[in-house]
Amino acid sequence: MGGRARLEVELEQLTQQIRYHEAAYRAGAPEITDDAFDDLVDRYQELAGQLGLDAAERLDLQPGQDHTAGFETVEHRVPMLSLEKLSPNRRDSSGEPMPLSDQLSAWFRRRRKELEVEEIPIIVEPKVDGISVSLLYADGVLRSAVTRGDGRKGDVITKQVTQLGTVPTKLKGSGKGELEIRGELYWPLTEFARFNATLEKPLINPRNGCAGMMKRKDPAGLDETGIRAFFYQIAWDEGVKLPSTQHETLQWLSDRGAEVYLSEVFQTVSEEKALQHCEDYQARRETLDYDIDGMVIKLDDLGLYARLGATGHHPHWGIAYKFPPERKPTRLLDIEVSVGKSGKLTPVAILEPVFVSGTTVSRASLHNFVELERKDIRVGDTVLVEKAGEIIPQVVEVDKSKRKRGAKRFVVPHACPTCGTEAVSEEIFVYCPNPTCPDQVRERLRHFASRQAMDIDGMGEVLVDQVVDKLGVRSPDDLFRLEVDALAGLDRMGHKSAERVKAGLEEAKGRGLGRVLNGLAVRHVGETMAEDLAAYFKTADALLEFAARYVAEDEEAVETVAPAKSSERGAIEGLARKSADSIFHELDSPAVREVFAGLADVGVSLRVRAADVREVADVAGKTFVLTGTLPTLTRTEVTKRVKAAGGKVSGSVSKKTHYVVAGDDPGSKHDKAQSLGVTIIDEAALLALLGDAD
């Protein structure tokens, strides 16, 4: 494989990993530490830069990531970027690990060169682990508060911030002029504990709790939470006379009634001392009433900032030092293998209970057998445990010095531990291929009934387990055949609850094909893929007929979803050849066909729900490509609306593109569209096509 090809493969792998871990993180179940995630993104950015990927294709530059439905979004005057980080895992060009001190001096060497100065005054501040916010004050009065969002556009939370009562709505003694101040909304630990004690279902941690609170549509009651904000930067100003250094800026803000961490800052001209301070500060961490996840090392002279500029993802005036998460040793008592809903076999560590970052840990996922082998984890070992994203326990590594003689390597199971069927491997995973495997049946039914899938009211995991164990339910359609009397006879069920479940089942029959497909737990079919398949094929019959043709290698069918030419995109966005093979084979299997027949039999709707698509004649069947910044809509919104109207959004321009929608600063796609003679339209024209005149 050539150099470039190798990089492309690595980039593709990174893309998959990042997507996966991002989804896990958002689902509240991160599997790797924030540091490890940052490293993936760092490497991704490095490769994407080397390969010259354009912004629209880059995972890290996709907007709309942190938008909450129902909130107005606005563009930031100055993008809210993330900070470059000193990372314990970074390596130099020859692959040697790079000490933090070397990374920091390399960073300062570049600044000195760029600025042509010898000595650089440094300021070190704590990095509070909260939610970034941008606050606009005009003539000293708070006009708007906006979340970081994707860095380019954020959600307007002015009402929510105002309601807190802890963030000044007026800056003391302020004259005319406008200011955009950056700060961090945070929940003081004592306030969080006090508030959490009043909740029936406690919040997981102050950071996520704070993020959730600030996205409450109704701000009433937010003043009782005790959430506050630290201010750390003036990002933009007009008509205001401001200090010329960071430490004076903090003082200036403080004089105007804004909370700053002035007492916590450290000033020096020595990089070594700055780093030492970061390391020493860890001890102080325990004594603070707020969570910090590291420190920020900044240049103090603001006059230098403008001369430094920024890359697309990091400003050049500062770098973050992240604290390593708490790590505790414990003994690995056993390795269990669990069977998931699509048959995936996952090794799970059974640990001697150990207290880490606030909770007792006794089990931890080991993710997959490749990972297990790479870390060379053996039963009886002393392992180090930490919490990823401070929530999900991880086995980080083995303390090999404590390994007992004769400890055996874990053998990847050749058969399913539950049903004994011979296991099969697919990429890095191992599966039990038996669709009637008892564990799979149970996990699948739990998933089918769950909120994300068929959302069957009253059918929680405990009830699913009972109907499997006591009423012999095996397949989703069996659920709909359950009688009220049988349900009423189960533990902790009465006639009333049984009737409620039955009503829930009746209601669920109309959820539509997308939900059904998601509920069947077909490998590689998540929520989005399920909806996209439903929107494209419309009915289960059409989908199954297509699956049969695809499996029979009908050229037209294969070409529709997985075009041979890599420059073209298939009818279903984001469906790669390999997943298509797997999905259509599984859909065409007798087991899945039987489930569909059963569902049809009990009256479950197997068509796409009318409400999910409202085809618009001018858009249906057309392919759109987006480039540049649109005046009002985000990329995610446009994609959603075009898809709902029956159109497609693709990432790159080809002769088959019908329209290129261009906004401000359009990229190379605009030029390509011109050279291919593709119609270029603006946002207003797109809205007109969508039949939206406003």
Q: Which residues bind ligand AMP (CB under 6 A)?
A: 80, 82-83, 125, 127-128, 132, 148, 184, 232, 296, 320
Stretch that binds Zn ion, among 238-246, 408-416, 490-498, 680-688 (CB under 5 A): 408-416
Return the number of the residue (291 or 683) whose C-beta is nearest ligand AMP. 291
Residue 317's region, left for phi above 0, alpha for psi from -120 to 50, else beta, is: alpha
Return the number of the residue (265 or 562) whose C-beta is nearest ligand AMP. 265
Q: Which residues contact 390 (CB under 8 A, 6 or more apart)?
A: 205, 207, 325, 357, 358
Return the number of the residue (225 or 475) whose C-beta is nearest Zn ion. 475
Task: Identify whether the C-beta of residue 482 lies closer than 8 Å to the C-beta of residue 504.
Answer: no
- Cα dist from 519 to 316, 446, 451, 511, whole Å: 47, 9, 10, 11
- Cα dist from 238 to 146, 167, 176, 232, whole Å: 19, 22, 9, 18
β-bridge mates for residue 329, sequence order: 384
**Is 127 labeled as catalytic in the residue annotation?**
yes
Cβ 210 to ligand AMP shortest distance, Å: 12
Cβ 411 to ligand AMP shortest distance, Å: 40
Residue 222's region, left for phi above 0, alpha for psi from -120 to 50, else beta, is: alpha
Bridging pattern class, strands 424-426 and 429-431: antiparallel
The yes or no reply on residue 423 touching Zn ion (CB under 5 A) is no
The yes or no reply on residue 432 touching Zn ion (CB under 5 A) is yes
Return the number of the residue (304 or 587) whose C-beta is nearest ligand AMP. 304
Q: Which of 416, 482, 522, 673 binds Zn ion (CB under 5 A)?
A: 416
Whose structure tokens read 């600063």?
Answer: 665
Cβ 420 to Zn ion shortest distance, Å: 7
Contact code string over 357-396 relative to Zn ion, x by CB under 5 A: ----------------------------------------
Element (H, E) at 659: strand 659-662
Give dist(CA 485, CA 465) in Å, integer.
18
Element (H, E) at 334: strand 327-339
Work out what residue 296 binds among ligand AMP, Zn ion, none; the CB cut-off runs from 5 to 8 Å by kind.
ligand AMP
Whose structure tokens read 């970034």?
Answer: 132
Task: Identify whether the C-beta of residue 57 lies closer than 8 Å to the C-beta of residue 412.
Answer: no
Work out what residue 35 binds among ligand AMP, Zn ion, none; the CB cut-off runs from 5 to 8 Å by kind.
none
Give dist(CA 658, CA 642) in Å, integer.
13
- Cα dist from 212 to 63, 131, 169, 217, whole Å: 20, 10, 22, 10
Tokens for 661?
């929608």
Provide DSSP, 235-282. Answer: EEEES----SBHHHHHHHHHHTT----GGG-EEES-HHHHHHHHHHHH
Work out what residue 447 binds among ligand AMP, Zn ion, none; the CB cut-off runs from 5 to 8 Å by kind.
none
Cβ 663 to ligand AMP shortest distance, Å: 25
Q: Which residues contact 68 (CB under 8 A, 6 or more apart)?
A: 155, 215
Whose structure tokens read 């609170």?
Answer: 213
Return the number of the residue (148 or 670) whose C-beta is nearest ligand AMP. 148
Task: Identify whether the C-beta of residue 76 lies closer than 8 Å to the C-beta of residue 153.
Answer: yes
Stretch that binds Zn ion, among 289-297, 404-412, 424-432, 596-604 (CB under 5 A): 424-432
Pick from 689, 685, 655: which is nearest to 673 by CA? 655
Work out what residue 619 binds among Zn ion, ligand AMP, none; the CB cut-off runs from 5 to 8 Å by kind.
none
Q: Which of 437, 572, 575, 678 binds Zn ion (CB under 5 A)?
A: 437
Return the number of the residue (80 or 547) whose C-beta is nearest ligand AMP. 80
Cβ 320 to ligand AMP shortest distance, Å: 6
Pick from 120, 111, 34: which is nearest to 294 by CA? 34
Cβ 441 to Zn ion shortest distance, Å: 9
Return the number of the residue (129 or 191) whose C-beta is nearest ligand AMP. 129
Stretch that binds Zn ion, among 277-285, 435-443, 456-464, 589-597 (CB under 5 A): 435-443
Cβ 151 to ligand AMP shortest distance, Å: 8
Work out what residue 83 binds among ligand AMP, Zn ion, none; the CB cut-off runs from 5 to 8 Å by kind.
ligand AMP
Stretch that binds Zn ion, among 37-45, 292-300, 385-393, 432-440 (CB under 5 A): 432-440
Cβ 209 to ligand AMP shortest distance, Å: 17
Bridging pattern class, strands 679-681 and 659-662: parallel
Catalytic residue among 85, 113, 127, 328: 127
Return the number of the residue (125 or 191) whose C-beta is nearest ligand AMP. 125
Give dist(CA 452, CA 341) in Å, integer.
14
Give dist(CA 576, CA 562) in Å, integer.
7
Work out what residue 184 binds among ligand AMP, Zn ion, none; the CB cut-off runs from 5 to 8 Å by kind.
ligand AMP
Q: Is 139 exposed, middle or buried (0-12, 13-18, 19+ CB in 10 A)?
A: middle
Element (H, E) at 662: strand 659-662
Give dist(CA 271, CA 108) in Å, integer.
8
Work out what residue 432 binds among Zn ion, ligand AMP, none; the CB cut-off runs from 5 to 8 Å by kind.
Zn ion
Return the number of the residue (80 or 587) whose C-beta is nearest ligand AMP. 80
Work out what residue 127 binds among Zn ion, ligand AMP, none; the CB cut-off runs from 5 to 8 Å by kind.
ligand AMP
Cβ 382 to ligand AMP shortest distance, Å: 32
Give dist(CA 429, CA 414) in Å, integer.
12
Return the number of the residue (293 or 381) whose C-beta is nearest ligand AMP. 293
Work out what residue 418 binds among Zn ion, ligand AMP, none; the CB cut-off runs from 5 to 8 Å by kind.
Zn ion
β-bridge mates for residue 123, sequence order: 267, 298
Return the number of the residue (308 or 348) whose C-beta is nearest ligand AMP. 308
Q: Which of 33, 73, 394, 418 binds Zn ion (CB under 5 A)?
A: 418
Work out what residue 437 binds among Zn ion, ligand AMP, none; the CB cut-off runs from 5 to 8 Å by kind.
Zn ion
Task: Identify whether the C-beta of residue 150 lies closer than 8 Å to the C-beta of residue 67.
Answer: yes
Cβ 481 to Zn ion shortest distance, Å: 25
Q: Which of 240, 419, 600, 681 binds Zn ion (CB under 5 A)?
A: 419
Cβ 288 to ligand AMP shortest distance, Å: 13
The yes or no reply on residue 548 touching Zn ion (CB under 5 A) is no
Whose structure tokens read 């493969």?
Answer: 9
Cβ 194 to ligand AMP shortest distance, Å: 23
Q: Is 198 exposed, middle or buried (0-12, 13-18, 19+ CB in 10 A)?
A: exposed
Size of the site for Zn ion (CB under 5 A): 6
Return the number of the residue (338 or 365) whose C-beta is nearest Zn ion. 338
Q: Which residues bind Zn ion (CB under 5 A)?
A: 416, 418-419, 432, 434, 437
- Active site amino acids: 127
